[in-house]
């Protein structure tokens, strides 16, 4: 038990350092704090989640096992004093929900048939599996608070020019309004599906981004978590192979 508490304390300290400087903020029980709330012991912290916005606001959210004390609530930072406070709280609540959902995430396997789906893009067009039938499809799962997701968008955009016969989709659980906060600033030329509640079931604890390649036969040909050069190289190789096989048929 002592060893577990020690590592938990180290984890809290490390996560705290990641939320920088004078603007350091904590979220607990729906409130903001400038330091760890009074009375919150390491053993009461069930989960820590750092949340951020595209505009640079950041906070360390704590999921705690018991309500805050009156003394702790005396130290709250008013919402009006927190830049993008409501957005940070919203993102933290979503992150907690995703964390819980990840426990029941579906396992991806190469060769499995990609499921039937209905999804709406950012311009309100509805897409289903019928729209991609007999075509190669690539699906990238992301969200606006994910730095690696945003960083890989220009690279992914090149793929659409290189593989014009492929159907490229991105998918996020967020609303069109929130999604545009990023897409209005970043070059990402795929078809953007929003309000997604189906594809996110694949994320699990390995997190965002996730990119899936689906062959003309409707089966998963490859998938990769992450946004490294190695990940992109493997995906590009798999995509090239799938497209080459499709052309030969």
**The last residue of a domain, from among 77, 102, 127:** 102
Q: Taking the CA atoms of 129, 153, 146 and 94 in sequence, report the sign of the dihedral they define.
A: negative
With contact defined as beta carbons under 8 Å apart, do 143 and 172 qualify? yes
Residue 112 lies in a domain: no
**Pair (241, 194) in one structural domain:** yes
The secondary structure of 108-143, three-state, reads: CCCCCECCCCEEEECCCCEEEHHHHCCCCEEEEECC
Reduced to 3 states, what is the DSSP secondary structure of residue 10? Answer: helix
Residue 111 lies in a domain: no
Where do we find the tokens 């019928």?
Answer: 130
- Residue 176 CA to chain centroid, in angstroms? 15
- Helices 229-248 and 147-162 meet at what angle, rounded to 10? 30
**79 is in which domain, residue-wise?**
2-102
Q: How many domains does the chain have?
A: 2
CATH code of the domain in which 179 resides? 3.40.30.10
pLDDT at 12: 47
**Pair (90, 135) in one structural domain:** no
**The last residue of a domain, from among 41, 75, 102:** 102
pLDDT at 145: 87
Where do we find the tokens 């190669």?
Answer: 136
CA dihedral 240, 128, 143, 81 (to 10 degrees): 160
**Pair (98, 123) in one structural domain:** no
Two tokens, residue 235: 């995906």
**Pair (91, 26) in one structural domain:** yes
pLDDT at 56: 86
**Pair (233, 140) in one structural domain:** yes
**Pair (97, 126) in one structural domain:** no
**Pair (141, 203) in one structural domain:** yes
Q: How many CB atoms lie within 10 A of CB 214?
A: 24
**Per-residue tens of pLDDT for the chain, all 249 residues:** 444 544 444 444 444 444 444 468 999 999 999 988 988 887 888 889 899 888 888 999 999 988 888 888 999 999 999 999 999 999 898 888 777 766 666 788 999 999 999 999 999 999 999 999 999 999 999 999 898 999 999 999 999 999 999 999 999 999 999 999 999 999 899 999 999 988 988 887 788 999 999 999 999 999 999 999 999 999 999 999 999 886 666
**Pair (79, 172) in one structural domain:** no
pLDDT at 18: 47
Residue 34 lies in a domain: yes
**Pair (154, 69) in one structural domain:** no
pLDDT at 134: 94
**Pair (81, 135) in one structural domain:** no
pLDDT at 195: 94
User: d(Cα 156, Cα 150) in Å, to the nearest integer?
Assistant: 10
Where do we find the tokens 């003394």?
Answer: 71
User: d(Cα 51, Cα 94) in Å, to the nearest integer?
Assistant: 10
Residue 46 lies in a domain: yes
3-state helix, strand and coil shares in percent for the chain, rounded to the nearest 5: 40, 20, 35
**Pair (38, 96) in one structural domain:** yes
**Pair (95, 158) in one structural domain:** no
Residue 31 lies in a domain: yes
Predicted TM-score (pTM) above 0.75? no
Partner residues linked to 63 by β-bridges? 47
pLDDT at 102: 65
Two tokens, residue 83: 């830049």
Residue 109 lies in a domain: no
């Amino acid at each position: 038990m002592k060893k577990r508490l020690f590592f938990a304390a180290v984890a809290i300290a490390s996560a705290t350092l990641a939320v920088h400087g004078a603007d350091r903020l904590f979220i607990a029980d729906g409130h903001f704090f400038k330091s760890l709330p009074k009375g919150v012991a390491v053993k009461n912290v069930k989960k820590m989640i750092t949340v951020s916005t595209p505009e640079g606001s950041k906070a360390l959210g704590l999921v705690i096992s018991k309500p805050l004390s009156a003394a702790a609530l005396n130290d709250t930072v008013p919402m009006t004093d927190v830049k993008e406070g409501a957005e940070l709280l919203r993102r933290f609540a979503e992150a907690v929900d995703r964390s819980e959902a990840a426990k029941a995430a579906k396992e991806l396997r190469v060769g499995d048939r990609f499921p039937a789906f209905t999804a709406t893009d950012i311009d309100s067009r509805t897409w289903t599996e019928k729209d991609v039938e007999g075509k190669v499809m690539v699906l990238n799962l992301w969200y606006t608070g994910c730095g690696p997701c945003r960083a890989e968008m220009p690279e992914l955009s090149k793929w659409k020019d290189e593989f014009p016969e492929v159907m490229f989709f991105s998918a996020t659980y967020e609303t069109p309004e929130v999604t545009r906060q990023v897409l209005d600033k970043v070059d990402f030329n795929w078809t953007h599906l929003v309000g997604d509640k189906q594809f996110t079931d694949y994320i699990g604890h390995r997190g965002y981004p996730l990119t899936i390649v689906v062959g003309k036969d409707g089966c998963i040909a490859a998938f990769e978590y992450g946004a490294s050069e190695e990940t992109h190289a493997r995906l590009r190789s798999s995509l090239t192979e799938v497209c080459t096989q499709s052309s030969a048929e």
